[in-house]
Structures are given as structure tokens and as C-alpha cells.
Amino acid sequence: MAEEKTVMVVDDEETIVNILTETLDMAGFETIGQTSSPAALAEFRENYSRIDLVVTDQTMPEISGLKLAEEIQKIKPGTPIILITGFMEMTAEQLWEKGIKAFLQKPLSLKNFMEAVKSLIAAE
């Protein structure tokens, strides 16, 4: 990787944030971990120019993953977002319109997670 890419990971479970950020760190990515979607949104507003990809859980207190994705698209349109969820009632097309470029089901496979991250970063 010529230049380090930065990935923001948002999940209300600190353990998941830690596992995903450590996995990304080992693969050579810069990471920002957040356990609060309002804090993640504030961080994105402040540092959007250096954040290349956002990974968010759908089920979050205060701001859902989809709502967070919508707000991120208003700040930096085209930002790729990976949505992680156990259950989703939207079609792939509806997700794509909200900036969701990959959708991963729980329980999460780290192999599938890294494949999604790498394919979206490569597509930039």
C-alpha cells in the first residue's frame, strides 16, 4: 500500500471495535475506533479528509448505522461504507443509495471483513 488508508470502525461493543481495528492495524491500515455513533459523526466531521472508509454496525444506540451513513454522505459524498448487521430489511439497491458499498452479516467472518475492506479501498 503506497499511502496508508484510514478506516473508521463504529460499533457500540468495544470488543468488536478492538478486534476489527487490531485486524486492520495488522494489515497496515490506520484506524479510528468509536463506540458511540454521535462521537463517530463528530470525528468524521473533523477528520473527513483523511478517512477513506467507514465500517459501522447497524444497530447502535442514538444514531443507527444507516443514519450515520446518510450523515457521512452529506459531509463527504462517495465515502464507502461497510454496514454490519444481524438483520436487514432493505434491498442492496436501497443500501447502495445510502452509501453502503458492502454489507456483512453477523456473526462476522474476519476473512470476509478484510476482503470487503481491501476491495473497497482498491476501488477508490
What pLDDT digit, counting tens, does each position of 55-76 carry?
Answer: 999 999 999 999 999 999 999 9
Q: What is the pLDDT of residue 1?
A: 43
Q: What is the pLDDT of residue 86?
A: 81
Is 123 contained in some domain?
no
The pLDDT tens digits for 22-45 are: 999 999 999 999 999 999 999 999
List the domain range (segments joined by +) for residue 57: 1-15+30-90+99-108
Q: What is the pLDDT of residue 69?
A: 96
CATH code of 48's domain: 3.40.50.2300
| Alpha-helical runs (H) found in 11-102 | 14-26, 37-47, 65-75, 92-97
Q: How many CB atoms lie within 10 A of CB 98?
A: 17
The count of structural domains within the chain is: 1
Is 5 contained in some domain?
yes
Is 53 contained in some domain?
yes
The pLDDT tens digits for 104-116 are: 988 899 999 999 9
Is 116 contained in some domain?
no
Q: What is the pLDDT of residue 106?
A: 87
94 versus 67: which is more confidently predicted?
67
Which pTM does this prediction carry?
Answer: 0.93
